[in-house]
Amino acid sequence: MTTAQVPRLAPAEVLRFAADPFTGMLRAQRVHGDVVEVGYGRQRSTFLFGPEANSFVFANPQLFSWRDSFEVMLPVLGESALLVSDGEGHRRRRHLVLPAFHRRRIEDYVRLMARNTAATVNRWETGRRIDLYRELRALIRRNTVESLYGSRLAAQNDAIGARLQIALDATDLPLGLQLFLTRCPNPLTARAKRARRWVAGRIQAEIEHRRRHLEPDGDGLGALLAAAHGERCPLDDGEIQDQVISLIVAGYETTSAAMAWVVHAALSTPGTWEQARESVTELLGDAPVTVEALEKLHYLDGVVQEALRLHPPVVVLPRVTAQDVEFAGRRLPAGTRLAISPYVTHRMSRVWTEPSRFVPERWLSGHRLHREVTPAGFLPFGGGRHRCIGAPFATAELKTILVELLRRTDLTPAAPVTPVSIMAMRPRRGVPVVVRRRKAGSHG
């Protein structure tokens, strides 16, 4: 079968794309279609746009190497993290990590998240301007570490965050530079590795403490340790450290970006904040948040899903082909760097009606914009074998924090918000708001 040439962005278009990749991707798809090559040399990626491409990639994991796709994340995630694992190693580790996200555990996490959110809000002075993104980021990192790994590690939350941030900062550098830093010895990567070793040391101390004191498996690490030792092929301590670190890294950067977009979208779409608050008051009153209650808050669910649709933190999912691949009449040789994009799919009018409007009601059946959601048309958490393992955790967290903010605060946007970074799309200069605490009792 003959294959067609992949269209390429011209040099001037590449420059424009680099300056604003969000508009650049939408434009590239509109002008050149669903398969388009962007960039030069190590910077080069072939974008596959749209639901057909997403289905193809999700249905054929054997065609791609996850280790090569996420090579630049290796210094922070570790060699055996799920995101950089392929084949049988991935299947075995994922099976052992899954119990940390069972519904029974999410119930406990939700209670803790609600408590931590209340404590955060109580520290805010009424009438003051704050960067909500920064505040929520600290809260979410605490929630992640405390719910998954317990209070001893949570007490070192800030130190752990600061160390991991050293490696995370590198993910905003151009891809070519990241690859160079990953492959060649240099002081930046050496510093990131030292910082990671410090975090791994704290985790190992916690693992050994638990083994000495035979603690019950009350949290995610407990579940991981129990699963790790009950199996025929248990996880070794290095593998456990990699899973612990990569869950923190994958969990808090993405969720705090998503939370910022949820609040920003709800505040900047007239009537949304008020309607969401009304639905909480009606269904919950002053009662504590539970997973069951969260499932019944349909309007609130619409707000969260709609924010994930228009502002998916993971803007592109990178893949490197492990063998020659053919898609849509185009040949993609082994070693080709590909990207599929939740961001572009979520804004396509062939998938969504009036895609650029923020309409939480479109998630309610019966609404004129409602559409059946397919995994290839809505993919904020990816899809297939490597679909986000933390999706139930993240969704419960986004809703729990939103409920507590609605109950306890009135927020007024204090500056415009624009996005940055396609690895974890977040607000460039945060989400500045003026806070008014609501009186005790008025949150119910």
Binding-site ranges for ligand HEM (CB under 6 A):
82-83, 94, 144, 246-247, 250-251, 254-255, 258, 313-314, 317, 380-382, 386, 388-390, 393-394
Q: Which is nearer to ligand HEM, 14 or 291 (CB)?
A: 291
Which residues are paired to 405 by β-bridges?
none
CA-to-CA distance for 88 and 85, rounded, in angstroms?
9
CB 47 within 8 A of CB 38: yes
**Nearest Cα residue to 78 out of 267, 236, 234, 311:** 236
Nearest residue to the partner ligand HEM, using Cβ:
390
- Backbone φ and ψ of 105, nearest 5°: -75, -35
CB 141 within 8 A of CB 252: yes
Shortest gap between Cβ of 2 and ligand HEM (angstroms)?
31
Q: Which is nearer to ligand HEM, 32 or 386 (CB)?
A: 386
Shortest gap between Cβ of 337 and ligand HEM (angstroms)?
13
Q: Which is nearer to ligand HEM, 24 or 313 (CB)?
A: 313
CA-to-CA distance for 193 and 406, rounded, in angstroms?
40
Which residues are paired to 331 by β-bridges?
326
Please report how the helices 21-32 and 11-19 are oriented relative to each other, as an axis angle in degrees rounded to 10: 140
| Cβ neighbour number for residue 268 with a 10 Å cutoff | 13
Shortest gap between Cβ of 171 and ligand HEM (angstroms)?
13
Q: Which is nearer to ligand HEM, 385 or 436 (CB)?
A: 385
Shortest gap between Cβ of 426 and ligand HEM (angstroms)?
11
Shortest gap between Cβ of 308 and ligand HEM (angstroms)?
7
Pairing of strands 35-38, 45-48: antiparallel
Shortest gap between Cβ of 76 and ligand HEM (angstroms)?
13
- Which H/E stretch holds residue 131? strand 129-131
Q: Which is nearer to ligand HEM, 58 or 352 (CB)?
A: 58
Q: Which is nearer to ligand HEM, 313 or 427 (CB)?
A: 313
